[in-house]
Structure 1
């Protein structure tokens, strides 16, 4: 019996060692299609990657990719991200929960569809297969938020730097902070109410700049 347990322990150690050593030598670009398909299923969005691709399995799964694009479909919300590094907690992943413990994006552009009056259109659910996502620490060095009128193609843009976001799940509450044109801001949201509205608090400025405090409820056009 002891010999069997020793052999099993040796096999486990061998598997763990292979998981640590092998990934740098695997040509992950050859499996790009499988990775994109897995991301699409997990997020419920169309995922497409380009450029360098690296994956680490242990001690916690980590993904590095030069260019990643997530889209909800034609004329829908999308994210175009460059130089992405995402680390996922291993223990929650074993139970089917996706928890991003550390995510870094060098440059990202979020495109949001709007009506001609400027109202945001509803966003699709981002988690696929009944799973939700948690984001503990997401940092974006350069973030461009573009609103696009679906009917005419007219766009408006806001540029932010050193943006940091976190949320226990996609429905919120979200916390975000960063700088827009040199002005610091902090944004927090609550959980959606029974009527579908989401409480939002925004603080910006201060010190040598005029102070702005906004407390509102936001709803999306059906």
Structure 2
């Protein structure tokens, strides 16, 4: 009897398996296609049409594959999203309780085209709203392979492209929470990313955490905030943290860079109303606070305001420790400025109009302390337009400068320069490690000029030199080339001259270790 029952059950199983194999041949796939298009359109909020074939199998689990799936259409008739092949595998049991458990979904070669209209609204946000079955569809695993996204910004006329998009997604329900991890290339720059979200709340806000790590950049960014659609415009606001993208051994040796603050991101601007910058040892970091704005719309501009405490450059990077700033009797003002320029050259130059304002009580570079630093600059291609630069050097020496600073290829500064010292002996001791007797007799000294300073040429036009009671006017030009002695040309006239004091001052500024032969 038992054997007959087993044989009967086995026979029924064979029939069931055979039916599962041939059933897809008799299913009305036209009806299935229509049902899929109707439900998918309701979920997406845009019309969904399957232009290709529909294939299915029931064993070992129900699997449906749809080819050439298109979502919506732009004004030009092109679809907003086109997927070359869309497949999904689901379990049968959850259907009995009214749920759809999709444990494997794959989108091959999806292409999306988003358009920002001239009024700043997102085309996807317009039209009918999505009707998401919040608790009926579960996605255990979704794979995106070889995806592309084209973002057309009609406000600015720019088009940005995401290519080589690959990602793994999962969702407790279609309404969230979502988790996404993957890689992509934005306008030729590759990197990795991860996203996680909660469900949309009653106000329409989606809590979203994002982490972006470019491959070729020294930093990554973590964002945690709320994403909303306000008047058909996307707004993402919350807090951010910048993290260094370098080996842990290097971070431990130099001290990690820590930047965090608030942000508001729209298509028109990136607004940072408050940021907190730390670098160096955690128990004694250097701190800068401020605000920043980058307008990314049609008229791109940026604003950066930084207000910090005293900074010791040698503690936070290699530039300060390797620069020529130690006590060296042959060092000069020009050489010390060279060391500072080497540090400035490491700062990225924005390629959009704007301005940056920096205020620091002191900068320590080796044995040098530069106090009361105020700097207002604007980017200009390979350099900066210096609207105002003020600093107090050793020897109660005031430095003021305005002009253009070039930091790429041949470094140069062209503009107006003023140096005025109320303690020339202290200024000389800082520069050369010793004080010429002729300088000790001076109570004040300084100069103002229109300058052209490069690595090989230093020109001082419209020069006015004050050395004690003596005032001289004219020009100075100094040329220095590798393996050649420097050449100095002076054209000066005035009411009186202290030759020894002038010779000593010229030697300090020009950078010649031996001033005895400088004016011969």
Which of 142, 147, 154 is the aligned partner of 2:146? 142
Structure 1 residue matching 2:230: 3-state secondary structure:
coil
Deviates more, 1:48-57 or 1:9-18: 9-18
Q: Which structure's relative contact order is higher, taking Cα pairs within 8 Å and 6+ residues apart?
A: 1
What is aligned with 1:108?
A: 110
CA distance in 2, matches of 1:10, 1:163: 43
Count of paired positions: 212
What is aligned with 1:38?
A: 35
Consecutive unaligned residues of structure 1, counting only runs of 5 or more, are: none
CA distance in 1, matches of 2:19, 2:153: 47
CA distance in 2, matches of 1:127, 1:109: 22
**CA, structure 1 residues 27+125, in 2 after alignment: closer, same or farther (shift >3 Å)?**
same
Which of 186, 189, 202 is the aligned partner of 2:210? 202
CA distance in 2, matches of 1:149, 1:161: 20
When Rg is computed on C-alpha atoms for both structures, the one with the higher figure is: 2
Report Cα offsets for 1:1-47 as digits up to 9, x if no partner.
x9xx88985785355223332157x287xx44312211134332643
Q: In the alignment, is the contact (CA less than 8 A) between 2:176 and 2:197 conserved in 1?
A: yes
CA distance in 1, matches of 2:98, 2:115: 31
TM-score w.r.t. length of structure 2: 0.35
CA distance in 1, matches of 2:140, 2:37: 21
CA distance in 2, matches of 1:135, 1:150: 35
CA distance in 2, matches of 1:150, 1:23: 50
Structure 1 residue matching 2:201: 3-state secondary structure:
coil
TM-score w.r.t. length of structure 1: 0.75
Structure 2 residue matching 1:13: 3-state secondary structure:
helix
Listed as ranges, the matches of 1:1-222 within 5 Å are 9=9, 12-13=12-13, 15-23=15-23, 26=25, 31-43=28-40, 44=42, 46-71=47-72, 78-112=80-114, 114=116, 116-119=119-122, 121=125, 124-127=129-132, 132-147=136-151, 156-181=160-185, 182-205=190-213, 209=217, 210-222=219-231
CA distance in 1, matches of 2:164, 2:59: 33
**CA, structure 1 residues 112+135, in 2 after alignment: closer, same or farther (shift >3 Å)?**
farther
What is aligned with 2:511?
A: none
Consecutive unaligned residues of structure 2, counting only runs of 5 or more, are: 232-520
Q: In the alignment, is the contact (CA less than 8 A) between 1:185 and 1:205 conserved in 2?
A: yes
Q: In the alignment, is the contact (CA less than 8 A) between 2:208 and 2:227 conserved in 1?
A: yes
Structure 2 residue matching 1:36: 3-state secondary structure:
helix
CA distance in 2, matches of 1:150, 1:60: 46
Structure 1 residue matching 2:199: 3-state secondary structure:
coil
**CA, structure 1 residues 91+131, in 2 after alignment: closer, same or farther (shift >3 Å)?**
same
Q: Give 1:108 deviation, angstroms.
A: 0.6
CA distance in 1, matches of 2:8, 2:144: 44
